[in-house]
Amino acid sequence: MNRARIHGIMAFGAVTALALLAASCSSSPGNGATGNTSKGAVAPASLNLELDWVPNPDHAGLYYAQNKGYFTKQKLTVHFQVPSNTADPIKLVGLNKVDLAISYEPEMFYGQHEGLPVVAVAAVIPVPLNGLIVSPKIPITSVCQIKGHSVGWTGIPSDGAMYTTMLKTCHLTPKQVPRVSVGFNLVPSVLAGKVDAIVGGYRNVEDIQISQELSKKAPDFPADQLGVPNYDELVLVANKNRLASDKAYASAVKRFVAAFIAGTNAAMKSPSATTSIMDTASSYKPSFLQVSVPYTLKLIAQNKGMKTGCMSLPAWQSFGNWMKSNALISNTPKASAVMTDKYLPYSC
């Protein structure tokens, strides 16, 4: 999904275009795990991880693990890279330009459609962040009360599908809920009163920004409340072919996942320390991070009763079917081919 949350970031000065251009994706992959070691010893490895976007609260577990030495304990040297385009990470993994990437569940099915050799090995954000965000000036308490109000959207097809699904769920027509194209100016459009609500913003980012700017909580309804099947907003992606053919790479990925899971679990127990780490790692306002980071950690814990990092095959298949039924993909989705729990440190 070409998420590109630049609409919120540009509006509030979190990063500049120059900073994005300076973040290069041209680095070659890490060494996976090379070098001679004694029998039973783990070889040191260097891994390049392409983020889905600039460092933000979604990456709290990653940066906590890096800061507290969880990757080092697994004999891993990890380099985080910022993409120039949010559609790039999964492609770079498929082309062996980077070792790992953070991407979106919808991108996994797009990748399957394109024949990319990629597989999700862990959930990073195990719940939908995207959904309907309503101006706090509009007093609604349930999603179907959106009748009579305008909804801004990015023009991204998957956001359009969410809007359409919401209308079907609420038995409403486009005339009753006008859709307005606002590009990536989602937050400014709400603040200026050009639209009453938006689809395409995240409840842990844009919703908080709107709420803070207007000094009142903006109602939000995540995608699964709109009628969209539950899905993992962000996932960790590896190269499927390399996992099968390169034992050193497979070992490094498994150790990375273990370190990431340990770091995420520790971060959830230390929201204040994690907020401080993200304040250093990201360019977001401290006042925003103080709200968003703890909230994001709470969302990560809401994994439908499953352990951290675990993914549900039936849920993935249901979401893939939804994508096909909304003409986002044309092929028949096969969830088992694009996600696996084999590299998690425990059974799901």
CB 35 within 8 A of CB 72: no
How far apart, in Å, are the Cα atoms of 288 and each of 14, 172, 204, 205, 211?
10, 35, 10, 8, 10
Six-digit token string for 196 = 């009453």
Burial of 291 (0-12, 13-18, 19+ CB in 10 A): middle
CATH superfamily, domain 130-225, is: Periplasmic binding protein-like II (3.40.190.10)
- Amino acid 5: pLDDT: 39
Match domain 6-127+233-337 to its CATH number in 3.40.190.10, 1.10.510.10, 1.10.10.10, 2.60.120.260: 3.40.190.10
pLDDT tens string 45-103: 999 999 999 999 999 999 999 999 999 999 999 999 999 887 799 999 999 999 999 99
Rounded CA separation 33/35 (Å)? 7
- Amino acid 30: pLDDT: 65
- Amino acid 87: pLDDT: 77
Of 58, 65, 63, 55, nearest in space to 19 by CA: 55
Most distant pair of Cα atoms in the chain: their distance: 70
Contacts for 320-324: CB closer than 8 Å, 24+ residues apart: 320/109, 321/229, 322/161, 322/165, 322/228, 322/229, 323/106, 323/109, 323/158, 323/161
Residue with tokens 């969410």: 162
Query: Matching CATH topology for 6-127+233-337 and 130-225?
Result: yes
How far apart, in Å, are the Cα atoms of 131 and each of 157, 243, 250?
14, 34, 35
- Amino acid 7: pLDDT: 31
- Domain map (residue ranges) of the chain: 6-127+233-337, 130-225
| HSE-up (13 A, CA, CB side) for residue 44 | 5
CB 248 within 8 A of CB 34: yes
Residue segments in the chain with a per-residue pLDDT below the cut of 50: 1-2, 4-27, 34-38
Question: What's this model's pTM, rounded to 2 decimal places?
Answer: 0.89
- Amino acid 1: pLDDT: 33
Neighbour count for residue 123 (Cβ, 10 Å):
28
Rounded CA separation 60/102 (Å)? 13
pLDDT tens string 185-211: 999 999 999 999 999 999 999 999 999
Amino acid present at 258: A
For CA atoms 2, 8, 11, 15, the dihedral sign is negative
